[in-house]
Structure 1
Amino acid sequence: MPDAETDTTGLHGSATDDVYDRAGFGATVPRGPRPALVVVDLTRGFTEPGFPLGADLTAEVAAAAQLIEVAHRRDVPVIATAVSFTAAEADGDAVAWLRKAPGVRALREGSDAVALDDRLGLAPDDHRILKKGASAFHGSSLAALLAGLRIDTAVVCGATTSGCVRATAVDAVQSGFDTLVVADACGDRARGPHDAALFDLQAKYADVVTLDDAVSYLDDPFRKADS
């Protein structure tokens, strides 16, 4: 993720902390024994800087690959998502998101931009979800898939933090799943939106956790967060 010279988010400071503490935000999320790993949109169009929507997410992809490796070893389900539009959708005017963010029209089915990053180490039997919006839950089978697998906790990583990761994490909670967001395995095009999204997710929707914490949890879901 690109570095920023200064913190311009205005997220840090005792006044902000006091306001959020008084509101009752930031409680710790329970962790159940049946997690799933949801890898959001780590496709080449987002993880490589040569694409118009992309950034250099080498470190974040490497972190996600660690999560995927331990999930495979421990038989934790892995679900990878990708945004993909048909030519008719990309060229037409029917998708409201594309009217607001016309650059997303570049994510056309069959193109290199929508190919999942090979560095992730995904397996052929990992689940794939194609989507047309920011949230991996909207208009997809993801909620039904997680319910069918009897999942209780969603571990979310991917790109971009302020867009599809945030939307997916919020909808995961609204779909009834306790949710962890792995900060080290989430990337964005700029530091400010990344930090702001993680701050808001931690306050209201999910536990924002380190890579080491997430790996330990996936390796042993019965391990308590502070044990």
Structure 2
Amino acid sequence: MTAHVWDDLLSERDRQVISKAGYDEEGASSWESRGLGENPLVLVIDMQRLIVGENVPILDAIEEYRTAMGHVAWEAIDHIAPFLDFAREREVPVAYTRVVPSSYDDPDHEDLEIVEPLAPAADEPVIDKSYASAFYGTDLLSRLVRGGHDSVIVVGNSTSGCVRATAVDAKQNGLGVILPQECVFDRIEASHRVGLLDLWMKYAEVLETEQVREYVASL
């Protein structure tokens, strides 16, 4: 059974509502919100220098980039990097997104680069976006359709922002969504935990990374 990061936030009434309404077994009642799929793509969300920063406490990282998360991001990288290697070994395709803020005139600025431990392979696409969702204003959906993918495994940041927006849009486009909970993160711990709870109840499978590895190995 998955040990979810939000478990200790729930009141007894919350637990009863989740159980009685069937969210723990079936997710949302209005659409099929759970399901792993048979041909996933791993989507790495916005693991860039200006968001990751140096491997220092977050309050120190903010001194260099106001968007940086420092040690919070690097803790997740320790899980993301080996998971990407695992997926590649099993020929599960990997794609990346980069957010390009309007304040940057040069899309090739070093601040916008994917951090080295997660650098994409030469044949892995990097999709630029201007807004939270990886689907909005990009060709991601077309890429997924062309590849015959029925689901996405989403890693990166932030749980309450770009990960959430991407997961919701993926579900609304008929795709399964899998979130390895150690591989996503947020600058605010409360937002991270509650965001994952909301996504699990309505839009996504939220699993421990080891469980996602088992799923990938079974494909």
TM-score with structure 2 length normalisation?
0.82
Deviation at 1:108, TM superposition (A): 5.7
**Are the aligned partners of 2:6 and 2:194 in contact in 1 as well (CA < 8 Å)?**
no
Residue 37 of structure 1 corresponds to which residue in structure 2?
A: 42
User: In 1, Cα distance between the equivalents of 2:6 and 2:201?
Assistant: 19
Question: SS state of the match for residue 37, structure 2?
Answer: coil
Question: SS state of the match for residue 79, structure 1?
Answer: strand
Q: 1:107 to 1:220 in 2, by over 3 A?
A: farther
User: Which consecutive unaligned segments of at least 5 residues does structure 2 have?
Assistant: 28-33, 54-60
Residues paired across the two proteins, number: 197
- Cα deviation, 1:63-96, whole Å, max 9, x if unaligned, reads 11122101211111101101014xxxx2xxxxxx
Residue 163 of structure 1 corresponds to which residue in structure 2?
A: 161
- Cα deviation, 1:140-197, whole Å, max 9, x if unaligned, reads 1111111110011211110111100011111111111111111101111121111111
User: In 1, Cα distance between the equivalents of 2:105 and 2:83?
Assistant: 25
- Counterpart of 1:173 (choices 168, 171, 174) is 171
Residue 56 of structure 2 corresponds to which residue in structure 1?
A: none
**Are the aligned partners of 1:108 and 1:114 in contact in 2 as well (CA < 8 Å)?**
no
User: In 2, Cα distance between the equivalents of 1:192 and 1:139?
Assistant: 29
Q: 1:66 to 1:23 in 2, by over 3 A?
A: same
1:113-152 matches, within 5 Å, as 113-152=111-150
**Are the aligned partners of 1:45 and 1:107 in contact in 2 as well (CA < 8 Å)?**
no
Moved segments of 4+, more than 3 Å: 7-11, 20-24, 105-108
Question: SS state of the match for residue 182, structure 2?
Answer: strand
- Counterpart of 1:76 (choices 69, 83, 92) is 92
Q: RMSD of the alignment, in Å? A: 2.3
User: Which consecutive unaligned segments of at least 5 residues does structure 1 have?
Assistant: 1-6, 91-104, 222-227
**Are the aligned partners of 2:180 and 2:207 in contact in 1 as well (CA < 8 Å)?**
yes
**Are the aligned partners of 2:43 and 2:95 in contact in 1 as well (CA < 8 Å)?**
yes
Residue 52 of structure 1 corresponds to which residue in structure 2?
A: 66
Report the identity percentage. 29
Q: 1:200 to 1:126 in 2, by over 3 A?
A: same
- Counterpart of 2:205 (choices 199, 207, 212) is 207
**Are the aligned partners of 1:69 and 1:121 in contact in 2 as well (CA < 8 Å)?**
no
